Structure 1
Amino acid sequence: MQYLNEIKNKQITVLGLGVTGLGIVRFLLSHGLSPKVVDSRANPPGIEWLSNHAPSLNTHFGNLDTADLNCSDMIIISPGLSLKTPAIASAINSGVEVIGDVELFARINTKPVVAVTGSNGKSTVVTLAYEVLKTAGFNVALGGNIGTAVLDLLSDDFDIYVLELSSFQLDTTTSLESVSATVLNVSEDHLDRYDSYQAYIDSKLTIYNGAECIVVNEDDKQTHPVSTYSAPKISFGASQGEYHLAEHNGSTYFAAKDDMLLPVNSLAVMGKHNYLNTLAVMALLSPFNISNEVYKKALGHFNGLAHRCQFVAQLGGVKYFNDSKATNVGATIAAIDSLSTGIEDLIVIAGGDAKGADLNPLKPYLKKHVKALICFGKDAKDLMALTSKSHLTQNMSEAVTLAKQFSLPGNVVLLAPACASIDMYNNYMQRGDDFVACVLAEQV
């Protein structure tokens, strides 16, 4: 915690009083630092906590233009706020250092880190990596963009930190050092926040800065660093890469080069995307020399995460899967590709706010694998334009009812929206819960 002593006399501003911002405030207060707290909202969440626990802190709630951000020595910003916000950009231009909580963590932490980003699959990969390391006997912490905020993890003495990092978090992180780091995949997302798709990709690729081992997806060249790094590179992929899937004695195996590690049925959850996630974990954890026995035990107990190709029920010979976390086109393609076993055997429910993304890459997957595309939400008509097999509904209940009418034994009904949920729901979890409730209600 030596770094905290170095900044104790600086004027620190915590910008954004959401979950992350409040966590930053609590962390600083616990180490004797009293920041100024700023939020653009007049009545932000967390204001009651401040009133009860830190009433003497200097605060500014409301218009950022009058928050005197330029007077700060350092701003610790929440990831939900864009660095291009005029008042924030002005502070940066005037020489104020703007960092995020991950950067503060990086300046304090001395333990090994496994770092993961990507458009899709981050949460599954970090959770499985956590389970494998825990099974191997490490005292391991999981956090970042999932579960516990990174600064809260510093309160315990962990052996290893496994961190899920969003592009927004990476935008304010420059000092993170990791044993291994990966960009799992890249597809169009958050284009409402970035100037271009390439700017979004470049943000993801910064995770390789400070990595001792760079893990790339051999099936997605966008995950490969464009700069020359001295760190060794390890790859994974469906049929290529050092970690890949291979056929052996009539079964499919997780393989490392020519070494057959474990059959894929060692993994408790199904789907090609989960096999790729497992290969990514194996590549990421290769510096730790995990045994096959440990992997077999961990994989056998891993049941996946809610709202990520989550099996809901089998009704009348039809399987229902909830992939509400598929908030972009790439995730929906992965789900369709993973769950389809034939021609036009899926009924897909999609819709919401596409956030300006190009939906056209869905077309070949809809043509080959999808029997019906059922749409609702803000950008439903844009989705419907992709195929003649589309149908418009007003809400989830109507969508599930229609899906049941179209489905036959052997079919799969898949919620994979390809869009954010903010037009109709508080978050993707609420959307997924609605789908599950509607599916199970069909039994009545």
Structure 2
Amino acid sequence: MNYLDELKNKKIIVLGLGVSGLSTMRFFARKNIDFSVVDSREVPPNEDIAKQLASSFHFGKLTNSVFEDANLIVISPGIALSNMYIQDAISRGVEVIGDVELFARLNTKPVYAVTGSNGKSSVVTLTRDVLKQAGFNVALAGNIGTPVLDVIDEDFDCYVLELSSFQLETTHSLECEASCVLNISEDHMDRYDSLVDYADAKQRIHLHSKLAVVNYDDALTHTSHQPQVSFSAQQGDYQLSNHYFSAFGESLLATAELSVIGLHNQLNALAVMALLKNLALSVDIFKAAFNQFSGLAHRCQLVAEHNKVLYVNDSKATNVGATQAALMSLANGKNIILLAGGVGKGADFSPLKNEIETYVKQLITFGEDREKIAALSDNTKQVESLELAVKIANECAVSGDIVLLAPACASFDMFKSFEHRGEVFSDLVHKVVNA
């Protein structure tokens, strides 16, 4: 009996009706597999679709009885496994998995998977571009926006997956041609007991991988998994050497061939080369893809240049590590006017202090945790809005400066998403430079 037939004999609950829940419902419906849906919200998103596709549903307060008949729960990554009702179900022998695990049990095509605190969307996108340049029909899916079950039935040669720690917690069977943990820095500390617990969740990506890629400079990415390769600015198997991308001591490609700016983008490119090591692709393939890569919106994106001042949108820098990376990659001396703030999700901001002292000439903070970040510098202005932050930054900036939005925080205190925050920043910049 194949796994799809097994599923038809199970009592399945889809828990959580966000993006992955909707995708899972549609997958089961396509395969004529019966399921129920559960969401703790009285009026969840995708309610109408759930009522059309599911055999039964429960919306509102959770109780143990909601799960008593289930033997498989497909859980949204946004719901913690530590939830008391999930723990009770697990203790009774109910299997709890995510959509990525469901994908893994059915997939037969090669997978290249990436996780990390920062840069993973850029790395998977560039990996997809390189594979396309090499002639592969490739799907990009996972945490980057397209759920894995939306693409599993299409005729792709391979998959490139961006995976979050939340997704990896419920993934046990994913087989990868290569897997990478890019970096680890504090994020989601409202869900994990410690940084080590968070790192352990990320490390699950290597469970069934033919090649592990690690960041030489970040001990929390290191693994005993073999075989493995490393990348780093100055050390490791893949590194930067005299303005060249090099591998195992051989210079391969000038870093100038990468069309996006910043050391962090060069490190991302090294990670891509390491991830695809076993394919032995020609340098010309990497060169063509690197030339054409324009970067992703809201990730160290150049918004404007005015009076020799650069305005850079890194709204995706939603944690301390991402802001550190942006500062170190973009600064030329102490020439950064940093706009930071929002919801810190329980993060410790103190690791930012050194980079702020070294690279930031003016710190401007906004949002819920603005006071905590402001405490890192004596030269700080706290403001009530991003609009005022941009106005003050523009007034402070002189030739050679960089006005950088790299908040080190989530956005949901003032904005719909990090994308919305970046869009607002970009609009405000264009208004002040064109005034």
Partner residue of 1:241 out of 236, 243, 248? 236
Partner residue of 2:131 out of 130, 133, 138? 133
Aligned to 1:313: 304
Distance apart, 1:2 and its partner CA: 2.9
> Which piece of structure 1 moves more, 118-127 or 193-202?
193-202
Distance 1:367 1:175 in 2: 45
Distance apart, 1:221 and its partner CA: 1.1
Distance 2:69 2:13 in 1: 9
Distance 2:108 2:172 in 1: 16
Aligned to 2:121: 123
Instruction: State how 1:389-400 maps to structure 2 within 5 Å.
Output: 389-400=379-390
Aligned to 1:46: 46
Is 1:422 aligned with 2:412? yes
Deviations 1:46-69 (A, max 9, x none): 012234x33x62100011115521
Aligned to 1:74: 72
Distance 1:67 1:286 in 2: 50
Distance apart, 1:371 and its partner CA: 0.3
Distance 1:98 1:433 in 2: 37
Distance 1:297 1:18 in 2: 37
Percent of aligned pairs sharing the same letter? 52
Distance 2:68 2:199 in 1: 30
1:63 corresponds to which letter in structure 2? Answer: K
**Residues 40 and 62, structure 1, Cα contact 8 Å, conserved in 2:** yes
Distance 1:14 1:117 in 2: 24
Distance apart, 1:93 and its partner CA: 1.2
Q: Secondary structure at the match of 1:71?
A: coil
Q: Secondary structure at the match of 2:68?
A: helix
1:381 corresponds to which letter in structure 2? Answer: E
Is 1:114 aligned with 2:112? yes
**Residues 58 and 66, structure 2, Cα contact 8 Å, conserved in 1:** no
Q: Secondary structure at the match of 1:32?
A: coil
Partner residue of 1:289 out of 280, 286, 289? 280
Aligned to 2:211: 213
Aligned to 1:174: 172
Is 1:274 aligned with 2:272? no
1:49 corresponds to which letter in structure 2? Answer: I
RMSD across aligned positions (CA):
1.1
2:275 corresponds to which letter in structure 1? Answer: L
Distance apart, 1:147 and its partner CA: 2.7
1:329 corresponds to which letter in structure 2? Answer: V
Distance 2:325 2:194 in 1: 23
**Residues 185 and 223, structure 1, Cα contact 8 Å, conserved in 2:** yes
Aligned to 2:327: 336
- TM-score normalized by the length of structure 1: 0.96
Distance apart, 1:6 and its partner CA: 1.6
Structure 1: 4+ residue segments shifted above 6 A: none
Distance 1:43 1:210 in 2: 39
Partner residue of 2:61 out of 40, 63, 75? 63
Partner residue of 1:264 out of 252, 255, 272? 255
Q: Secondary structure at the match of 2:394?
A: helix
Distance apart, 1:294 and its partner CA: 0.6
Aligned to 1:143: 141
Distance 2:67 2:379 in 1: 53
Aligned to 1:12: 12
Partner residue of 2:184 out of 163, 183, 186? 186
Aligned to 1:22: 22
Distance 1:363 1:235 in 2: 28
Deviations 1:31-83 (A, max 9, x none): 010101000011111012234x33x6210001111552132110000100011
**Residues 18 and 45, structure 2, Cα contact 8 Å, conserved in 1:** yes
Deviations 1:398-434 (A, max 9, x none): 0000001111011000000001111111110000011
Aligned to 1:347: 337
**Residues 216 and 233, structure 1, Cα contact 8 Å, conserved in 2:** yes
Q: Which blocks of at least 5 consecutive residues in structure 2 are unaligned?
A: none
Distance 1:32 1:290 in 2: 41
**Residues 139 and 158, structure 2, Cα contact 8 Å, conserved in 1:** yes
